[in-house]
Structure 1
Amino acid sequence: MTARRPRTRALLASGAGLALASGLALTGTAGAHTSDAGSTTVAPAGHYFAATLNGKATFKLGPVLVTCTVSGSQPTAGGGDANNQIPAAPANHNDSGPVVSSINSPTYSSCTTSQAGVSATVTTSGAWSVAMQYGTPATATLSIPTGGLVVQTSGLVSCTVTAAPDASADLAATFDNGAPSQLVVTDGAAPVKVTGGFGCPTATTSSLFNATYDITDATDPSSQITVNS
């Protein structure tokens, strides 16, 4: 199998303020949920899937660039719930729209910053989901619950950045069938709320996100997760 080059791109600040990014996160679009969408089948039906960061996730917090090299969303140990699971047939097919799966909130670690004396942590929580829609290209809509992602900086700059502060938010992505398949977020826009003292861009209300995740079959590693008509 030929390895594909990660397509994660750096986050850019929105206006003069703070830009936030995370893996699997948020924009105001919900194109995958339109009622006139074509049919979608996600396979294999009933299988669990994992999302693993390919490359790195970057967060631009004012003058500080936060880079995390470990991130992912894994099924619950033992398959004790329906998170990270393709619906069983026939629910893995939709005649006129996306197929939706709940997912465990992604985790982030091995994070560094570009500025001496400033450290950062990324935490997530709540009920996340992903909706996959067949098309050219196939797309995905990743939904974050209210307040479901928080970036906290400390040291010389101490700020709290909360994504989707007032309501759940959607992040548009593309889905590429392959071995492994990939979910790619390109310049996803998200609402944010910034709090903190001196140096925190508290007037900033939006951000951008870029990341690539490998989507693999956790039930049968020899199989691939695919989105078709």
Structure 2
Amino acid sequence: MTTTTRPARRTPRQRVLRTAGTGAVAALGLALAMTSPATAQPAGTPSAAASTTVSPAGHHFTATLSGKATFKAGVVTVTCTTSVSSGQVPAAPGNHNPAGPVSSSTTPATYSSCTTSMPGVSATVTTTGTWGVAMQNGAPVTAGLTIPTGGFVLKTSGLASCTVTAAPTSAATVNGSWTNGAPSTLAFTNASVPVKVVGGFGCPTSATTSTFNATYTVRDTTDPTSQITVTG
């Protein structure tokens, strides 16, 4: 005669713990899916990035804010009307990458003439370190602006004293788009920037990201009759 062993019945408490454990594993899996890089490419995705050429090779350039730049953290928005940065296109053959972006270092973007959305609160921005820009040919042409660790610090004073540090723990890349023209433009639309906010009353201390909007005109300062362009 064969004896069948039945699984032990779980108590109500054991069933609750098992259900809770399953939910925790599912939540952890969701978190990993949201934060881990993708390991597989969608169907039809090219195996390598497109060829990129930034011209003219070796020329210096200046990026000047067109209009205004805004930084929003929580309910606070800071608006600056003056910003500039400069850099140099890599000399040949470094200005060409057969399968990826072309990168170069730039001076820290300076920001001045800044106001806030809070009455009685003023703002100043300090930038430091070596910044960088990477251009990738495509449709559209994309650009990544790299801010070094702690390279951007926004401070408010007056009725609210806050300090907002961008890229607080490691270098961060802000994604934008490039348009060839006369002059060419570099635009950031609702770009996300990691931040840390410290301060007292009125400071958005719970914010961990800031939304950045700005458009820059990029001019060739080596030869003002030329344009900085990104092609394949």
Q: Give the TM-score normalised by the residue count of structure 2.
A: 0.77
Structure 2 contact 72–212 (Cα < 8 Å) conserved: no
Aligned equivalent of 2:63, options 37, 45, 51: 51
Match of residue 129 from structure 2 = 126
What letter corresponds to residue 230 of structure 2 in structure 1? V
Q: Is the 8 A contact 2:73 2:209 kept in 1?
A: no
User: Equivalent of 2:152, from 137, 142, 149?
Assistant: 149
Which residue matches 1:175? 178
Q: Kindly tell me: are residues 35 and 88 of structure 1, through their superposed partners in 2, closer, same or farther at Cα, counting changes over 3 Å? A: farther
**For 2:205 and 2:102, how far apart are their aligned partners in 1?**
37
Q: RMSD of the TM alignment (CA)?
A: 1.6
User: What is the TM-score with the length of structure 1 in the denominator?
Assistant: 0.78
Counterpart-to-counterpart distance in 1, 2:135 and 2:229:
10
* Alignment: residue pair count: 188
The letter for the 2-side match of 1:159 is C
Q: 1-side partners of 2:53 and 2:47: how far apart?
A: 16
Per-residue Cα deviation, 1:37-62 (whole angstroms, up to 9, x for no partner): 11100000000011000100122355
CA distance in 2, matches of 1:69, 1:223: 26
* Structure 1 portions without partners, runs of 5+: 1-28, 75-83
Higher Cα Rg, which structure: 2
The separation in 2 between residues aligned to 1:117 and 1:149, in whole angstroms, is 23
- Alpha-carbon displacement from aligned partner over 1:130-173 (angstroms, at most 9, x marks no partner): 00011111111110000111110011010000011000000111
Which residue of the other structure, out of 70, 83, 108, is the alignment partner of 2:82?
A: 70
Q: Quote the Cα distance in structure 1 between the aligned partners of 2:204 and 2:47.
A: 39
Query: Of the two structures, which has the highest relative contact order with CA contacts closer than 8 Å and spacing of 6 or more?
Result: 1
CA contact (8 A) 1:100 1:131 kept: yes
**Equivalent residue, structure 1, for 2:93:** 90
Q: Which of the residues 42, 62, 65 maps onto 2:54?
A: 42
Which 5+ residue runs of structure 2 have no aligned equivalent?
Answer: 1-36, 38-45
| Separation in 2, partners of 1:185, 1:196 | 27
Query: What is the alpha-carbon distance in structure 1 between the residues aligned to residue 132 and residue 75 of structure 2?
Result: 31
Contact 1:105 1:127 in 2 (8 A): yes
1:14 aligns with none
Q: Which has the higher helix share?
A: 2
Which amino acid counterpart does residue 142 of structure 1 have in structure 2? L
Aligned ranges for residues 178-197 of structure 1 at < 5 Å?
178-197=181-200
Could you tell me the percent identity over the aligned residues?
Answer: 64
